[in-house]
A and B are shown apart, each in its own frame.
Chain A
Amino acid sequence: MKRNLSLLLCLAMVLTLFAGCSAKQGAGETAPPSTSSSDPAQAASNTPAQEPVTIHLFHQKQEAQETFAKIIDAFHDAYPYITVEQEIVTNDPSAILKARIATDEVPDIFQGALDTMDIAQGGYIMDLAGEPFLDNITGEALRDASFTDADGHTWAMPVDGSCEGIFYNKDIFAAYDLTPPKTLSEFDALLETLRDNGVTPFALGFKDAWTIKPIALVAASPAVYAIDADWNAKKSSGQAAFADTPAWTTSFELLKKVYENGNTKTAFDTDYNGACAMVARGEAAMMVQGLWALEPIKSVNPDVNLGMMAMPVSENPDDTKLFQFPDFGLSISASTPHPEACKRFLEFLTRPDSAELWCSTAKLFSAVKGVSVDFDPLAADVNAYIDAGMVSTQADRGWPTAFQPEFEAALPNYLLDKASLPDILKSLDSAWDTAKAASQS
Chain B
Amino acid sequence: MQRTKRRRSLTYFAFILPAMLFFVSFFIFPFLKSLWLSFTDAYGYNPDVHLIGLKNYQEALSNPSFKNALWITLKYTLFVTVLANLAALGLAFLLDGNVHFKKLFRAIFFLPNLMSLIIVSFVWVFLYGGVYQSFAELLQIPEALQISWLGNEHMALISMGITAVWQCAGYYMLIYIAGLQSVPHELIEAAQIDGASSWNIVRKIKLPLLAPVIFMNTILLVTACLKTFDIPMAMTSGGPAGATTTIALQIYNTGFRANRTGYATAQSVILFLIICAITAVLSIFQNRKGAKDT
Contact = CB atoms under 8 A, between A and B. Distances in A.
Given A121-B46, A122-B47, A434 B240 contact: no
A412 B241 contact: yes
Contact of A401 (B47, B48, B240, B258): B258
B242 A409 contact: yes
Contact of A119 (B45, B50, B148, B152): B45
Interface string B234-251: 000101111000000000
The main secondary structure of chain A at its interface with chain B is helix
Interface string B132-155: 000000000000000010111100
Contacts of B42: 441
B97 interface: no
A402 B252 CA distance: 13
Interface residues of A, number: 39
A115 interface: yes
Given A207-B150, A405-B258, A427-B64, A412 B46 contact: no
A406 B263 CA distance: 14
Interface string A401-416: 1101110010011011
A438 B264 CA distance: 12
Interface string A98-109: 110100000000
A439 B258 CA distance: 10
A121 B239 contact: no
A95 B129 contact: no
A441 B51 CA distance: 10
A439 B148 CA distance: 39
Nearest to B152: A268
Interface string A281-318: 00000000000000000000000000000000000000
A269 interface: yes
Nearest to A125: B45
B54 to A, nearest CB: 15
A405 B253 contact: yes
A422 B196 CA distance: 66
Interface string A384-420: 0000000000000000011011100100110110100
Contacts of A209: 237, 239-240
Contacts of A206: 239-240
**Interface residue SS majority, chain B:** loop
B90 interface: no
B151 A438 contact: no
B43 interface: yes
A119 B44 CA distance: 8
A427 B63 CA distance: 9
B149 to A, nearest CB: 8
A267 interface: yes
A140 interface: no
Given A207-B239, A405-B253, A269 B150 contact: yes
Nearest to A416: B241
A434 B45 CA distance: 17
A385 to B, nearest CB: 33
A37 interface: no
Interface string B253-283: 1001111100100000000000000000000
Nearest to A271: B129
**Residue among B45, B46, B153 with the most chain A CB within 10 A?**
B45
A268 B46 contact: no
A64 interface: no
Interface in A46-76: none
Contacts of A266: 148, 151
Given A405-B258, A418-B241, A438-B41, A267 B46 contact: no
Contacts of B253: 405
By Cβ-Cβ distance, the 7 closest A-B pairs, closest first, are: A122-B45, A269-B151, A412-B241, A268-B151, A402-B258, A441-B41, A95-B256
Given A121-B45, A412-B242, 13 more contacts: A92-B257, A95-B252, A95-B257, A98-B44, A115-B44, A115-B259, A206-B239, A266-B148, A409-B242, A412-B239, A418-B241, A434-B59, A441-B46
